[in-house]
Each structure stands twice: as structure tokens, then as C-alpha cells.
């Protein structure tokens, strides 16, 4: 079992495809992950499963990997509560979760934006530029910068889970660049393709952060570190001034237009 726990999850899934659905049944979405270098033991720890859930999960995985062995997985002592309770966050982490809410509200408008996309007229092109402005300045320079420049610095950035998050950020920026270039060429197909891809990427990315990464980080950080991070986030808020408020107002306007 020790060898299994120290194996990369993609390798395990590649060699034993039935492990993917087992993980998904416990809310662990490793199958579509673009990185997949996380070790099985780290995935189990970071997802905050209860002791009984962890025992059941590992028993099923062990049976899939070693079908001819009768492996007994002991119940590991844990101090955390059973899964299913509402997630709670420290004040700085709650800031990030609240910012996610506005990003998700923008993402919710993407299907309608694609459906009504008209790049032959300047108002249609400007609308896409405004969406990109929100993504670049609110989602990326304001929100993602808090993660990359402050939050992630409290941890080893070589951690697989952080590499996954950073890869997602870079993939999002790549989609934005593709959309920006296609708008000026009036290439509606490319704009639609990358808007949809960005929406799918960020939706899953936010879910991973809200439900897995942030709660785990909160448990790992000291009260002093959390206080320092809150102060640093507040400094970022002051630096950006009323910029985030203007981007929030844009989302509200977009929602009103599509209501």
C-alpha cells in the first residue's frame, strides 16, 4: 500500500481505469486534470475526507489495483469533522471566495454572449472587449495576483496542487489572448470556442479552490500568517481603488441586459 500511496495519480488511472470513477464518486476530479502529477496520498489528504470516507475510498482503490489481494485498510484517526458540513473560511480566504462569486456571475453570461455574438458591428466587438477587460483586470490582475503573489507564497510552489492552479491561470491567459486576436479579425468561431473553453476551465478551477484548496490552506496556516495575508489583501484592495467596483458594475449591467 505504501508504494500505491506514493504513486502518481495519472499513472494509477492510466494503468487501472476503474480508479477514475471511484475518485469521482468521492468528488475528486483527477481524470480531467491537465497536470496529474499529484501523489495518491496527497490527493486523499488535501480533499479533507472523513476517516470513514477515506477508509472506504482506499479500500475500493486497493481492490481495483490489487484484485487478487485481500487488503484491509485501517481506519485512520482524524480530528476533522465529517464531510457534508458547510465550508467556512478565514477572513482573507473569504475575500477570495467572494471575488469568485463575481467571476462566476460573469461566466454565467458567456453562453448568452456566444449565442448573440455579432462581431460585424462595433458594439458587438466592444462588448467582447469589455468582457476581456473584466477577465484581465478583475479576474487576473486583481484576484489571481492575490493568489500568486501573496497566498501561494506561504506554501511550497512546487506542490502539485499549486502547479495545477498555476497551470490553470496560464491556460486562462492563453484563451484570453486568442479571444482578443480573434475579435479584431471578426472571427466569431474562434471567439466562441475560447470563451466556452475559458468558462469551462474557470468553473472547474474555482470549484477546486473553493472546496479543496482554500479549506486545506486555512488548516495549514497559522493565525499570524492569516492575519498577515488579510493585511496584504487589504493593501491590494486599496491599490486597485474603485477599479474592482467598476468591473462588478459591468457584470450587473450585463446581467440586466440578459434578464
Please report whether residue 180 resides in a domain: yes
- Report d(CA 231, CA 58) in Å as an integer: 40
Q: What is the structure's pLDDT at 48?
A: 61
Contact 110, 251 (CB under 8 A): no
Residue at a domain's end among 65, 80, 103: 65
59 and 97 part of one domain: no
30 and 127 part of one domain: no
Please report whether residue 213 resides in a domain: yes
Please report whether residue 34 resides in a domain: yes
Structural domain count of the chain:
2
Please report whether residue 196 resides in a domain: yes
Q: What is the structure's pLDDT at 1?
A: 58
List the CATH number of the domain containing 7: 1.10.3910
**What averages of pLDDT result for each successive group of 10 residues across the chain (259 residues)?**
70 84 77 60 64 79 83 58 62 95 97 96 96 97 94 91 93 97 96 97 93 90 93 95 96 91
What are the two backbone dihedrals, phi and then psi, of residue 39, each rounded to the nearest 5 degrees?
-80, 150
Burial of 211 by CB count in 10 Å (0-12 exposed, 13-18 middle, 19+ buried)? middle
Please, what's the b/e burial string for 114-140 (b: 16 or more CB within 10 A of its CB; e: otherwise)? eeebebeeeebbebbeebbebbbbbbb
Range of the domain at 21: 2-65
163 and 212 part of one domain: yes
Contact 103, 204 (CB under 8 A): no
Contact 3, 38 (CB under 8 A): no
56 and 153 part of one domain: no
46 and 126 part of one domain: no
Please report whether residue 81 resides in a domain: no
Amino acid at each position: 500500500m505504501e508504494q500505491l500511496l506514493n504513486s502518481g495519480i495519472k499513472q494509477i488511472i492510466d494503468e487501472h481505469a476503474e480508479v477514475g470513477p471511484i475518485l469521482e464518486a468521492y468528488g475528486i476530479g483527477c481524470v480531467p486534470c491537465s497536470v496529474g502529477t499529484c501523489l495518491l496520498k496527497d490527493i486523499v489528504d488535501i480533499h479533507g475526507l472523513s476517516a470513514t470516507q477515506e477508509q472506504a475510498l482506499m479500500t475500493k482503490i486497493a481492490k481495483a489495483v490489487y484484485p487478487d489481494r485481500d487488503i484491509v485498510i485501517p481506519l485512520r484517526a482524524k480530528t476533522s469533522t465529517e464531510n457534508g458540513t458547510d465550508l467556512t473560511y478565514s477572513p482573507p480566504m473569504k475575500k477570495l471566495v467572494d471575488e469568485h462569486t463575481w467571476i462566476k456571475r460573469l461566466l454565467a453570461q458567456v453562453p448568452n454572449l456566444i449565442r448573440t455574438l455579432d462581431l460585424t458591428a462595433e458594439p458587438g466587438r466592444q462588448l467582447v472587449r469589455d468582457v476581456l477587460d473584466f477577465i484581465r483586470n478583475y479576474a487576473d490582475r486583481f484576484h489571481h495576483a492575490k493568489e500568486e503573489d501573496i497566498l501561494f507564497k506561504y506554501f511550497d510552489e512546487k506542490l502539485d496542487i499549486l502547479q495545477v492552479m498555476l497551470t490553470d491561470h496560464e491556460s486562462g491567459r492563453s484563451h484570453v489572448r486568442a479571444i482578443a486576436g480573434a475579435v479584431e479579425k471578426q472571427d466569431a468561431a474562434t471567439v466562441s470556442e475560447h470563451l466556452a473553453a475559458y468558462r469551462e476551465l474557470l468553473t472547474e478551477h474555482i470549484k477546486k479552490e473553493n472546496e479543496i484548496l482554500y479549506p486545506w490552506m486555512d488548516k495549514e496556516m497559522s493565525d499570524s500568517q492569516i492575519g498577515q495575508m488579510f493585511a496584504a489583501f487589504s493593501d491590494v484592495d486599496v491599490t486597485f481603488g474603485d477599479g474592482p467596483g467598476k468591473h462588478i458594475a459591468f457584470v450587473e449591467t450585463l446581467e440586466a441586459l440578459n434578464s
